[in-house]
Amino acid sequence: MRLKPALIALFVSWSSLMPMLAATSLPVDPSAGVTKTPEGPAKEAMEAFKDGRHAKAVELAKPLAEQGNSDALYLMGFAYESGKGVEASREKALEFYKKAAAAGQKDATYRMSFILLASEEEKERTQGREALEAAAKDDPAVAGRILGEAWLKGRLSKDPDYDKAVFWWGSAADAGDQPSLLLLARLYEGQFGFADKKDLTKAMNTYRKAAGLGDAGAMVALGSRLLNGPEAQRNEKEGREWLKKATDAKEYSAYLALGDFEENVKKDPKAALETYRKGDDAGQVDCTLRTAQAYLEGKGTEKDEDRGIKLLEKSATAGSAAAHLRLAVLRLAGEKPDYTVGYGHLLSAANGGLVEGQNELALLYLSGKLGVADLAAAAAWLTRAAQGGYAPAQNNLGTMYERGAGVQQSYPNAGQLYSLAANQGNGPATLALARMHAQGLGTKEDLPKAWALATLAGEREQEEGVKLAKELDAKFTAEQKAEAQKALKEIKSDKPAEAPAGDKPKAPAKQPTSATTPPVTAPAKPAAGKP
């Protein structure tokens, strides 16, 4: 069950916490972004940039840009956007992209629009939309994909717009853009929220269409759902056929889907291990992890911890953050934990972007088991994990803000973080919100709402929530009991209600940084539809 942010958030100044729109639709290399490698004057500059000789590329592109060469203008824009070869500058990037777009460089239009869509200024977002709508007349594929993302993430309207996302992704898909077809399938499946619009039949038909067009990733997605999805949509024969086509196309994640089917649906650990081994032999990292786990636990084979650890180390060496986390757990557990080795694996998992690893590394810093507690480093890593949407980290960081441990005390930031975690069903965060309402921490005292949240915390296995709810109920008048029941009903429904007034969240105090400590920034609002 999710709670509406408007119902439980103590502090609702969302605009200051809106993250930048992730550039998932665009390439990160300008030479990759150009539809066709230019054979004209800018070719040498583009190749230099692609080879990592950024300063040389800028040197070559600058005079060409001054002459109005569209590809050189585009490269200069990307250089300023990425800060490669020059000092990063949003304004200069936009300046060059606008000139390149005016000269007919369509990739510049997309990058320019992405920057504008990420702006907090409505005027700039509108400019980005208009540029993309104009581009979509001639190139509906990429332009439509970006517009669909923008509408879904609420960048062009107050709330995420499902229908506009369907329209633009549908237009892009009709123009042959397979990524948009897969995004549509995920949207119909409910992966981006909108539970009331979920349509599994549409989702499966869309996956089937993409798979039929030869998209190997869609083959895996379809096959996996036919084998591992809701029972009503399963079809073992068809699922196996699609996964076989995927492996023939060298999409080896199909072994993972098939292994999971053997393990979880067919309950055949030996067949599962055999399938995972095939994936491991093909270099599929997740299959290697599954194989390692089978040996560590003795599932489908005799228990062999040494072999399991060697497989994990193999994956870790290949860069698997998940393998590093599993190795960290093994090294830090038991009677004689190896904190040095365990810390190294946790650090690799955290630097690999694994939010669970970032959270665990922060807790290790807090524990003092590395010699001394490092609150600043803990707060920094929790911030990164919290921004990644990891509820336990949001709750842990909220506790640090509430207590002023490692960061400047801030009830607004604490309330915001607790709200984000509670919206994902986190029990401790739900209890913390109840307590803040009951004590008037950072907001006015609201005992009926505190009772409602405490009751919900109790349903989320927080015994202290049950205790707090009973204590409040014993003191309530009949009118307060009615208010409390109403608050609980509203929290459990999709009906919006006014949140308590409070101060705006404040940006955290700047924390020291190092190679192992990322900078702390303000807690971020999650993506639209993902409270």
Q: What is the mean pLDDT of residues 474-479?
A: 93
- Residue 495 has what pLDDT? 40
5 within 8 A of 490, measured Cβ to Cβ: no
Nearest to 69 by CA among 47, 45, 36: 45
Q: How far apart are CA 321 and CA 342, in angstroms?
A: 13
Helix 106-117 with 90-102: angle, nearest 10 deg: 140
Residues 229-282 have pLDDT tens digits of 999 899 999 999 999 999 999 999 999 999 999 999 999 999 999 999 999 999
The pLDDT > 90 percentage for the chain reads 81
Give 421's DSSP letter. H
Can you give the C-alpha Rg of the chain in angstroms? 26
Q: Cβ of 529: how many Cβ atoms within 10 Å?
A: 19
Strands (E), 88-228: none
DSSP sequence for 94-108: HHHHHHHHHTT-HHH
Q: How far apart are CA 462 and CA 474, in angstroms?
A: 19
Asked if pLDDT for residue 177 goes beyond 60, the answer is yes
The pLDDT > 70 percentage for the chain reads 86
Asked if pLDDT for residue 516 goes beyond 80, the answer is no
| Sequence-separated (6 or more) residues with CB below 8 Å from residue 122 | none
Nearest to 416 by CA among 401, 431, 438: 401
Tokens 């980005």 correspond to what residue? 128
Residues 61-70 have pLDDT tens digits of 999 999 999 9
In the numeric block, which tokens belong to residue 476?
């309530």
DSSP sequence for 175-223: TT-HHHHHHHHHHHHTTTS-GGG--HHHHHHHHHHHHHTT-HHHHHHHH
Q: How far apart are CA 161 and CA 148, in angstroms?
A: 9
- Residue 352 has what pLDDT? 95
pTM for this predicted structure: 0.72
Q: Cβ of 490: how many Cβ atoms within 10 Å?
A: 19
For the chain, give the mean pLDDT.
87
The H-or-E segment that residue 146 falls in is helix 140-152
Give 225's DSSP letter. H
Residues 479-507 have pLDDT tens digits of 999 999 999 998 887 543 333 445 445 44
Helix (H, G, I), strand (E, B) or coil at 443: strand
Residues 83-123 have pLDDT tens digits of 999 999 999 999 999 999 999 999 999 999 999 999 999 99
DSSP sequence for 480-519: HHHHHHHHHHHHHSS---PPPPBPPP-PPPP---BTTBPP
- Residue 27 has what pLDDT? 45
Q: How far apart are CA 506 and CA 124, in angstroms?
A: 25
Q: Per-residue confidence at 38, pLDDT binned at 50, 70, 90?
A: low
Asked if pLDDT for residue 440 goes beyond 80, the answer is yes
Q: How far apart are CA 312 and CA 260, in angstroms?
A: 19
